[in-house]
Amino acid sequence: MNRFAIKAGLGACVLGASVLIPAQVSAEPAATATGTELSGMTVFLDPGHQGSSEGHDLAQQVNDGRGNTKDCQTSGMTSLGGVPEHTINWNVSQLVKSSLESLGAKVVLSRQDDTGWGGCVDERARAASESNADVAVSIHADSTAQGEDASKHGFHMIIPSLPIPDEKADAAQSGGGLEASKMMRDAYKSDGFVPANYAGVNDGLQTRADVAGPALTQVPLVFVEMGNGSNKEDSAQLEGTDGQLKHAITITTGIVTYLLTGSESAPAEELAAAPAATTEPEASEDSASSTTTTTPKATPKSAAPDSAQFSELMEMLAPLLEVEGLDGLQDLVNDKNLGLVSDLASTLMSVITGAGGN
């Protein structure tokens, strides 16, 4: 399908601003604008980690979903530029939330701000399950060293080893969770992001038995590691407003593609192809780093066919970003401009439904 049509439409929804849609998008037949394209659908967003653990014991042992226990939570990584992971995750999640809500979806957050406590990993999984969301997305950034690590880079999705002891969690993650994770992986690759070249990641997927969230969540879950905060290039993108925006657009693309084209089950053939990494350190779900001695494998280079269009979009937005930052972009989505957002969203919907998926 026309990937830039999706990205441009979603970018407009994220921003809620008067962004010009390129000619190839306007050429697509547009449906009647409703502003309720995702009406009736619920998305649970988990911005990984939290701003403060004051008054809480991070080492408190909680259920890991596989008959054992693990630490409640950790503070997460810090990028090379000194930006804490919880803030990166929060900023990206807020942009995704604005985009999804402008399309009519209900969005439930695991934590309500970036300054306080957001719950242990088992509490977040329980909140996701109780939300009855159509899909849950846990947003994280990885780390492989305390300092710079130039050799390891890229994004990946964490897939739980199957079977999961809890039958409902097993059904959710072996079906919709796996399918949604693949669609998110595909969205990342299509937007020019490179799959990780470390920790047993195979084409953007990493199978793990030591991450509690997927083993405890009873709705389809996507666990995103946006990049390696120890890598100079990845870190710069994670820290910057333009990079966070690009991640948000891609994550929203993956979510919307799954919500509109996904099925209730998915084949598990890629589970066998993606090697388990149970001997690796914890993921950023509850670990400040995941240092590994894995020998880097050759990483296929993905082209970025839409980089010129994205650069043009960022050039238009640069003055607003400099003055208002990400919060200013979020504030643009309101009742007064919802009609514009709906027009752009309907173009997106017609492209997706007309092309039959990703």
CA distance linking residue 191 with residue 304, whole number of Å = 6
* Structural domains counted in the chain: 1
Tell me the DSSP string of 111-172.
-S-SSS----HHHHHHHHHHTT-SEEEEEEEE-S-SS--SS---BEEEEE-S--SSHHHHHH
- Report the pLDDT value the prediction gives residue 128, as an integer from 0 to 100: 98
- Report the pLDDT value the prediction gives residue 324, as an integer from 0 to 100: 53
Amino acid identity for residue 251 in this structure: I
- Report the pLDDT value the prediction gives residue 358, as an integer from 0 to 100: 39
3-state class (DSSP) for residue 84: strand
Q: Is 143 contained in some domain? A: yes
The alpha helices in 229-337, defined as continuous H runs, are 232-239, 241-261, 269-273, 307-331
Q: Which residues pair with 182 in a beta bridge?
A: none
- Domain span at residue 123 reads 42-262
Q: Which residues pair with 202 in a beta bridge?
A: 205
Cis peptide before 163 (omega within 30 of 0): yes
CATH number of domain containing 97:
3.40.630.40
CA distance linking residue 331 with residue 120, whole number of Å = 30
- Report the pLDDT value the prediction gives residue 325, as an integer from 0 to 100: 56
CA distance linking residue 105 with residue 43, whole number of Å = 7
Angle at 145 between CA 142 and CA 151, to 5 degrees: 85
Q: Is 298 contained in some domain? A: no
Taking alpha carbons only, the member of 136, 131, 90 closest to residue 113 is 90
pTM here is 0.74
Tell me the DSSP string of 13-68.
HHHTS-PPPPHHHHTSPPPPP-S-TTTT-EEEEEE-S-S--TTS-TT-EEE-SSSS
- How many residues appear in the chain? 358
Query: Residue 228: which residues within 8 A CB-CB, separation 6 or more?
Result: 141, 142, 143, 144, 149, 152, 153, 154, 196, 198, 234, 235
pLDDT in tens, the chain (358 residues): 334 334 444 444 444 332 222 223 333 444 443 567 799 999 999 999 988 888 899 999 999 999 999 999 888 999 999 999 999 999 999 999 999 998 999 999 999 999 998 899 999 999 999 999 999 999 999 999 999 999 999 999 999 999 999 999 999 999 999 999 999 999 999 999 999 999 999 999 999 999 999 999 999 999 999 999 999 999 999 999 999 999 999 999 999 999 999 864 334 444 434 444 443 444 445 443 343 333 333 333 333 334 444 454 455 455 545 555 555 544 444 444 444 444 444 444 444 444 333 3
| DSSP H or E segment with residue 293 | none
In contact, 198 and 256? CB cutoff 8 Å: no
Tell me, yes or no, if 225 is annotated catalytic.
yes
Q: Is 27 contained in some domain? A: no
Q: Is 280 contained in some domain? A: no
Q: Is 175 contained in some domain? A: yes
Which residue of the set 37, 85, 101, 225 is catalytic? 225
Q: Is 2 contained in some domain? A: no
